[in-house]
Amino acid sequence: MSETTNQLLDNLNALAAGLFLLTAFGIVAMRQIRGCLNLFIVQSLLLAASAALLGLRHQSEHLYGVALVNVISKPVIVPWLLAKTSPAEVYTRREIDQALNIPTSLLIALALAILAYFLGTPLLNSVGPDFRGPNVPIGIAGLLLGAFTLTVRREAVPLLIGLLVMENGAFLTGISISRNLPLLVELAIATDGLIIVFIMGVLTRAVQKHAGTTAVGTLASLKEAAPEPTPNEVTK
């Protein structure tokens, strides 16, 4: 392929990666659960776009496979599974609370992204020039931001989305450094994610049934399912 086309593909891939980073920030800061889920869908589509563009750039069918698996599993099956398993009222809630307020968590997220750059640079320097691109540091940043989402959120479904963002970040790094990953591995990882969603969804439903809320951050103390509390204990 010609030099200009390659440059264009590189830039488009970088654009997909940049927007991927932006959606990861959005998932950290978004207030609504529905908005979080939508951002996650956009992020998965961007991941698929990045895989397809890299596949086109390096003529690798495996990356097309990755893109296809991503388009099918995350934007379609994950929301469907969540809708099936977790209670519907989770989505009607608008405000979800966080351990930190939003500007603070955004600033910490920025610091994490810069950390990812310092983690990614030595990795990039140790591989061939063909593998260098924005995917490695941004993928690591996605991983860290997903982990950060896990720590600041107090709501079950956004916690699950944090886990999936971590997986997306790992994928984004993976597709740029391994061009010939067997499709079987990709499928295995994708199914893994789906099973996580399934289990977490069922767990959310169980938590909601038991505790009456899905704000798992407030469930700090152990409670026995034993007898009804006496009036004295309630006033305490």
Partner 1 sequence: MFNRILFNLFQVIVVLVFAPLASGVLSRLKEMVQSKRGPSILQPYRDLWKLFHKDEIVSEESSWIFRFTPYIVFVTPIFVALLIPVLTNYPLFFAFMGDMLGGGFVLSLGGFFAALAAVDTANPYGPMGASRTRMVGFLAEPVFMIVFFTVSFVAGSTIPYIVQEKWVTPLANFFAPSHVLLVLAFLMLILAEGGRIPVDNPTGHFELAMIDESKSLEYSGRGMALMKWGGHMKFFVLMCIYLNVLVTPWGLAREQTTGAVLMAIPLVLFKIFCLLLVLVCIESSLSKLRLFRITEFLGAAFVTSVAAMMARVFLP
Binding residues for partner 1 (CB under 8 A): 4, 7-8, 10-12, 14-15, 17-19, 21-22, 25-26, 29, 102-103, 106, 109-110, 113-114, 117, 120, 124, 132-134, 137-138
Name the CA radius of gyration of the chain, rounded: 20
Cβ 83 to partner 1 shortest distance, Å? 24
> How wide is the angle at C-alpha 37 spanned by C-alphas 190 and 192, nearest 5°?
15
CB nearer to partner 1: pick between 112 and 156: 112
CB nearer to partner 1: pick between 12 and 187: 12
* DSSP reduced 3-state for 84: helix
Cβ 113 to partner 1 shortest distance, Å? 6
User: Can you tell me the distance from the alpha carbon of 156 to that of 163, in angstroms, rounded to the nearest whole number?
Assistant: 11
3-state DSSP percent of the chain in helix, strand and coil, to 5: 80, 0, 20
C-alpha 83, offset from chain centre: 17
The amino acid that residue 57 corresponds to is R
CB nearer to partner 1: pick between 154 and 205: 154
User: Can you tell me the distance from the alpha carbon of 198 to that of 83, in angstroms, rounded to the nearest whole number?
Assistant: 10
CB nearer to partner 1: pick between 29 and 203: 29
Cβ 104 to partner 1 shortest distance, Å? 10
Cβ 67 to partner 1 shortest distance, Å? 19
User: Can you tell me the distance from the alpha carbon of 228 to that of 4, in angstroms, rounded to the nearest whole number?
Assistant: 73
User: Can you tell me the distance from the alpha carbon of 9 to that of 159, in angstroms, rounded to the nearest whole number?
Assistant: 34
The DSSP output letter for 126 is T
CB nearer to partner 1: pick between 130 and 192: 130
Cβ 18 to partner 1 shortest distance, Å? 3
CB nearer to partner 1: pick between 20 and 171: 20
Strand partners, 153: 98
Cβ 105 to partner 1 shortest distance, Å? 10
